[in-house]
Structures are given as structure tokens and as C-alpha cells.
């Protein structure tokens, strides 16, 4: 069998579509092209580039999505798409039906050191990654989790073996990123000079991610293995027009 790199696109089919909440679409992808796909050990929130099909091969574009679940035996991958009302991938997910095709490349993602306590913060787009992250945290780990979604209807169960404190925050769809309560929540949970070994994980809009990254680096002085703060999207900018990891 020919070897494949993370940049190769694997063409797969939509096997099932469901709506865990009104503004989230869960899509299960499957196909023989997923053979050999593997999630790297230690990467707690893996992601893939999803290529949205187009009749014009030159016009195809990709967007980054977290792998919510992957089953290497059944060859199924579940991805959860936020329906944000305007965007190539969001629109595709809203219309997707079993039998539709999409491309997958990757996976990518960062590892975090094992620590006493994790502070995990994310908006709606990070909820799939947070769900997976909490699936894999070991029993005995502690995590303070802050999730910001548009309203109560978007909350999801977050099972974990780890000891969790989960706080749901609400920011209306269309409210500016500056209205996010995530930075204050993270700062209150991780005051300068706090005790114990902590790691901070965040996925959020770019302005929000920048504030949390600056707190993790400048105030807490966390080394790179103890923070992963990623811009998942940027208000007013199509993905590809901004840096996720700046």
C-alpha cells in the first residue's frame, strides 16, 4: 500500500448526520481512505483539515475541525460543526446528507504536559475539542472548564474520568468578541503566584485567544508544554486570512 503524509487528502463519505443541539451538526465520515489514519498519542485535541467539495477542483477550500471521535476499526470519524450562519464549511455541514463526499487531511495538534490541574476554556467552536479532551484526561487529573456558548440550548454533557468543575457562560451570536467572559474566567482561575502546577488550554476567537495567551505567557510565565492557546476563528475574516498560533 502507498504511504500517505498528513498533507494527503483522504476522500471520505458522510455516513450519518445528526444535531446534538440546535446550532451544532455532528457528521460521521467513513470510507476505506481512513485506513492508516492515526491520532498521535499525547495530542489531546487533534484536528484535521476538511476539504469542502466543489465541482471546480481548483476552487476547493479547506477549514480546520477537531476530531470529536475516531474509530480505527469501524473507520469512522465524527466531526461537530457549529452552524454559525455564514461560511463555506458551516453551510456545507448544514446541508450535508449521507453519501456526500468531503476530504480529510491531517491530523495535527499539540501535546500538553501532565500536570495537577488543567484550566480549559473555549467557545462554541472549541466544544468538540473540549469534549474529546475531557474524554482522554486521566482519572486523578483536575480540570476547571469554562465553555462559552450562545444560549442554554447549546450546552452538552461533558463526561470525564477527571475531577471537573464546569462553568457555562453565554455570549449571544453576533455579540462582539470583546464581550467574551472567557479571559476573565481564566484569569480568575489562574491568579499570578497561584499554587500547584497548572496547564492552560484554549480554543476561541482570535481576540479572546490573544488575551488568554498573553496571560499564560506574560503573567503565569508558563512554558510551551503547559499552554496551548489557539485562535479557532477571527471575526469578519474567512479562515486562511489569519494565524491560529500567533
Q: Binding residue for ligand FAD (CB under 6 A) from 21, 51, 125, 180? A: 125
89, 105, 120, 209: which one binds ligand FAD (CB under 6 A): 89
Q: Of these, 62, 80, 206, 228, which contacts ligand FAD (CB under 6 A)?
A: 80
Q: Report the residue from 51, 77, 87, 106 that binds ligand FAD according to the rule CB under 6 A.
A: 87
Q: Say whether residue 160 binds ligand FAD (CB under 6 A).
A: no
Instruction: Please spell the DSSP secondary structure of 42-90, one letter per residue.
Output: TBSS-EEEEEEP-SSGGG-EEEEEE--EEETTTTEEEEEEE--SSSHHH
Stretch that binds ligand FAD, among 60-68, 136-144, 149-157, 161-169 (CB under 6 A): 60-68
Q: Which is nearer to ligand FAD, 21 or 190 (CB)?
A: 21
Q: Shortest distance, CB of residue 74 to ligand FAD, whole angstroms?
A: 20
The grid coordinates listed for 2 are 502507498
Question: Which residue is at the shortest CB distance from ligand FAD?
Answer: 87
Q: Are 122 and 202 in contact (CB under 8 A)?
A: yes
For the stretch 117-151, what's the b/e string if a residue is b when 16 or more beta carbons lie within 10 angstroms of its beta carbon? bbbbbbbbbbbbbbbbbbebbeeebbbbbbbbbbe
How would you class 1 by CB atoms within 10 Å of its CB: exposed for 0-12, middle for 13-18, buried for 19 or more?
exposed
CA 95 – CA 17 distance, rounded (Å)? 10
Count of residues of this chain found to bind ligand FAD when the rule CB under 6 A is applied: 27
Q: Of residues 47, 117, 213, 226, which one binds ligand FAD by CB under 6 A?
A: 47
In terms of CB distance, is 87 or 183 closer to ligand FAD?
Answer: 87
- What cell numbers appear for 190 in the block? 489562574
Q: How far is the CB of 159 from ligand FAD (least distance, A)?
A: 18
Name the residue nearer to ligand FAD (CB basis): 65 or 201.
Answer: 65
Nearer to ligand FAD, 90 or 207 (CB): 90
Q: Is 115 in the site for ligand FAD (CB under 6 A)?
A: no
Q: What residues form DSSP beta bridges with 47? A: 66, 108
Residues 181-240 that bind ligand FAD (CB under 6 A): 230, 232-239
Task: Work out the angle at residue 81's Cα, subtended by the Cα atoms of residues 126 and 230, and round it to the nearest 5 degrees.
Answer: 30
Query: How does strand 227-233 pair with strand 198-205?
Result: parallel
Q: Which of 63, 117, 211, 213 binds ligand FAD (CB under 6 A)?
A: 63
**In the set 28, 29, 77, 81, which binds ligand FAD (CB under 6 A)?**
81
Q: What is the DSSP letter of 199?
A: E
What distance lies between CA 212 and its chain's CA centroid?
A: 16
Can you give the binding site for ligand FAD, defined by CB under 6 A?
47, 63-66, 80-82, 84, 86-90, 125, 128-129, 230, 232-239, 244
Amino acid at each position: 500500500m502507498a504511504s500517505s503524509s498528513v498533507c494527503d487528502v483522504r476522500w471520505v463519505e458522510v455516513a450519518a448526520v445528526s444535531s446534538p443541539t440546535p446550532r451544532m451538526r455532528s457528521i460521521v465520515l467513513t470510507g476505506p481512505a481512513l485506513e492508516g489514519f492515526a491520532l498521535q498519542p499525547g495530542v489531546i485535541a487533534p484536528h484535521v483539515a476538511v476539504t469542502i467539495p466543489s465541482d471546480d477542483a481548483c476552487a476547493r477550500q479547506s477549514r480546520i475541525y477537531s476530531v470529536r471521535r475516531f474509530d480505527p476499526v469501524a473507520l469512522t470519524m465524527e466531526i461537530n460543526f457549529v452552524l454559525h450562519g455564514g461560511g463555506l464549511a458551516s453551510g456545507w455541514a448544514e446541508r450535508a446528507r449521507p453519501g456526500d463526499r468531503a476530504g480529510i487531511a491531517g491530523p495535527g495538534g499539540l501535546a500538553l504536559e501532565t500536570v495537577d490541574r488543567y484550566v480549559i476554556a473555549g467557545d462554541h467552536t472549541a466544544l468538540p475539542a473540549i469534549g474529546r479532551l475531557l474524554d482522554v484526561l486521566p482519572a486523578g487529573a483536575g480540570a476547571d472548564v469554562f465553555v462559552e456558548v450562545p444560549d442554554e440550548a447549546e450546552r452538552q454533557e461533558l463526561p470525564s474520568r477527571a475531577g471537573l468543575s464546569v462553568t457555562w457562560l453565554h455570549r449571544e451570536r453576533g455579540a462582539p468578541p470583546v464581550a467574551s467572559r472567557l479571559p476573565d474566567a481564566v484569569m480568575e482561575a489562574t491568579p499570578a503566584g497561584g499554587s500547584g502546577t497548572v496547564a492552560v488550554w484554549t480554543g476561541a476567537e482570535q481576540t479572546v485567544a490573544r488575551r488568554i495567551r498573553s496571560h499564560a505567557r506574560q503573567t503565569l510565565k508558563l512554558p510551551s508544554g503547559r499552554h496551548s492557546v489557539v485562535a479557532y476563528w477571527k471575526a469578519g475574516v474567512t479562515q486562511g486570512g489569519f494565524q491560529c498560533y500567533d
